[in-house]
Amino acid sequence: MSEQATTPDRLAWFAGDADALDLYERLVYVAHAWDDLIDQDKPVDVNALMANLLVYLPGNRCYLRFAGEMRALFMVGMVGYLAANKIEAEGGDGHRLELAHFLRYAVMNAAIFLIGALNGVDRGAQILADAAPVLVPERLADYLKEHTQC
């Protein structure tokens, strides 16, 4: 999708599988667009969002290969994201906010699955250890600061 998406490091995360990288990048786009629609803080190209959801994701060869697993992980991501928003709206102690930060990134489990499925468990763990800061770019301290100032 993006020029950044074709960098060798990201492609290596998925054992050189360009379809897996495309799937990951599209999931990131959808997750950000969904968050922007919910927060109403950035404009969203709804046509591009719908094309990703209805055409590109379901037609992706890597998605088709792992469709059952992907649907389950999409459910995990959706439930996690909705729970995070509920926690944020209700407020609460620091632990609940820490959990909300964790739950906001539940869609990352799809990337973790693909990294492990395509590279094997040991190599996948090694890749994830390096990739995790890119997969979860928001620092917990920054998130907590933003949500405790409200």
Distance in angstroms (rounded) separating the CA atoms of residues 78 and 49: 16
The string of DSSP letters for 91-141 reads ---HHHHHHHHHHHTTTHHHHHHHHHHHH-HHHHHHHHHHHHHHHS-S-HH
Tell me the pLDDT tens digit for each residue of 62-105: 999 999 999 999 999 999 999 999 999 998 788 999 999 899 88
Residue 45 DSSP SS3: coil
Confidence at residue 93, expressed as pLDDT on a 0 to 100 scale:
85
Distance in angstroms (rounded) separating the CA atoms of residues 67 and 150: 40
Distance in angstroms (rounded) separating the CA atoms of residues 123 and 51: 33
Distance in angstroms (rounded) separating the CA atoms of residues 18 and 148: 40
Confidence at residue 141, expressed as pLDDT on a 0 to 100 scale:
84
Q: How far is CA 111 from CA 6, 22, 40, 51, 81, in A?
A: 16, 11, 26, 21, 16
CB neighbour list of residue 31: distance below 8 Å, 6 or more residues apart: 77, 81, 107
* pLDDT, tens digit only, all 150 positions of the chain: 544 544 448 999 999 999 999 999 999 999 999 999 998 999 999 999 999 999 999 999 999 999 999 999 999 999 999 999 999 999 878 899 999 989 988 889 999 999 999 999 999 999 999 999 988 888 888 888 888 875
Confidence at residue 37, expressed as pLDDT on a 0 to 100 scale:
95
Confidence at residue 3, expressed as pLDDT on a 0 to 100 scale:
46
Angle subtended by helix axes 108-119 and 18-39, to nearest 10: 170
- Cα–chain center distance at 118: 17
